[in-house]
Amino acid sequence: MKLEKEKQHRLRINRLKIYEPYPKQREFHTAGASYRERLFAAGNQLGKTLSGAAEVAMHLTGEYPDWWQGLRFEHPIVVIAGSESGELTRDGVQRLLIGQPDREEEWGTGFIPKRCIQRTTRRQGVSNAIDTVTVGHVSGGASSLLFKSYDQGRSKWQANTVHFVWFDEEPPSDVYFEGITRTNATKGSVMMTYTPLKGMSAVSARFFLEDAPDRIKIMMTIQDALHYSQEERDRIIASYPAHEREARTKGIPTLGSGLIFPVAEEDIIVQPFPIPTHWAQIGGIDFGWDHPTAAVSLAWDRDADIVYVTRDYRKREATPLIHAAALKPWGLLSGEQWLPWSWPHDGLQHDKGSGEQLAKQYKEQGLKVLSERAQFLDGSNGVEAGLSDMLLRMQTGRWKVFSICQDWLMERQTYHRKDGKVVKERDDVISASRYALMMLRFAKQAPPPETNRAYRGFGAKSGSSWMSG
């Protein structure tokens, strides 16, 4: 009994040693080796703050486990960690790093091992709150941990040059950018762990709507939290209000009534399957440069009137030559291109470099581009009409998306309105699918593999919609 008691005591004061992350938590840790700014967007009570505390403890002590592939510091460092208020910082960040705030004898039962805590100072004005911690590092020196809170204002985050900043819960944008600035001189790193309940704020938009080579978001859903059974997951999901459900269980920003497609992802997502030969198919493309060029292929089960998004593509700052090379295999069979491609009205614009119409450039690169820009049968091409058609199909089970179409699914999560107007940001793949849906009447069946010369006249008859040569 004495041995077991001593064993449990040693585990309690060396919690870091027994930390075993879930796959999503490990993915987030590993990303630190490649990205300066990281967001761990996760639902409530899934382990995001716990994983943040474990990583901070590793950096402060220099004690990394054998499986660690993330960012490493081989020397003592300075870290700022904080949350929305002094009380929340104490009860969340401080508790997980140091131990129960109201029992000093318990300090050392957090992720920073007790033997490494050399000195602490108290914060004024918040009971049981710590201001600074001196932490022993394996190199022989000492790291410094500074606890701060957002309600102190940006100025309180200005004084220090640090190596690492941990924001637990979403910070105001001025505090976030001040935190980044503190790491400039050290070429340090910034980490955030929060549930995005504030909607598409400036900070969330930085990760959800903007692409940057030094920035990444990792999303953890309730399905990734292995400490819940499926029965418990279902019960938790059902307990949340519908407009907060995706934020609290999947880490997707709450957009409320502004979400353009307010349907549960599980209602539209399906696993990929071979497309039956009698189904019609069509491609859609959205031209871009600064914003990505995007494309999708749709498969149409005409008997049930169900449309499936089967493939997607998204790439910025590339020429039609590059895009066409990536898309041609979608419609190539027996050496012939058969898949019709729908395109938007700006395809009639002339490229500033070549002076040729964009649609014509794609035709010259081998795509079977339709002769008419995307429009409904009556000649209109309204965005709202197309979105309404897509939403109605989703709500009636007639719009499905293959699970491999991650770009499409990610865009859906943040596609929203502001002041009643569609926000035209990160909507490229969805726009491509809208163009294809508008021209669904021109969808074609794939030819049989034994295509012969007689088939090569497909679509060239009078009244066809192929772009003429």
Instruction: Report the catalytic residues.
Output: 169
User: Kind of pairing, strands 280-286 and 293-301?
Assistant: antiparallel
- Coil, helix or strand at residue 155: helix
- SS3 for 301-340 is ECCCCEEEEEEEEEECCCCHHHHHHHHHHHHEECCEECCE
- Residues written for the chain: 469
Q: How many CB atoms lie within 10 A of CB 7?
A: 10
Question: Phi, psi at residue 237, to the nearest 5°?
Answer: -60, -45
The residues pairing with 280 across neighbouring beta strands, listed in sequence order, are: 300, 445
Which amino acid would we find at residue 42? A
Question: Cα–Cα distance between 361 and 352 in angstroms, integer?
Answer: 12
Question: Cα–Cα distance between 308 and 330 in angstroms, integer?
Answer: 15
- Whether the CB-CB separation of 363 and 272 falls below 8 Å is answered with no
- Whether the CB-CB separation of 158 and 178 falls below 8 Å is answered with yes
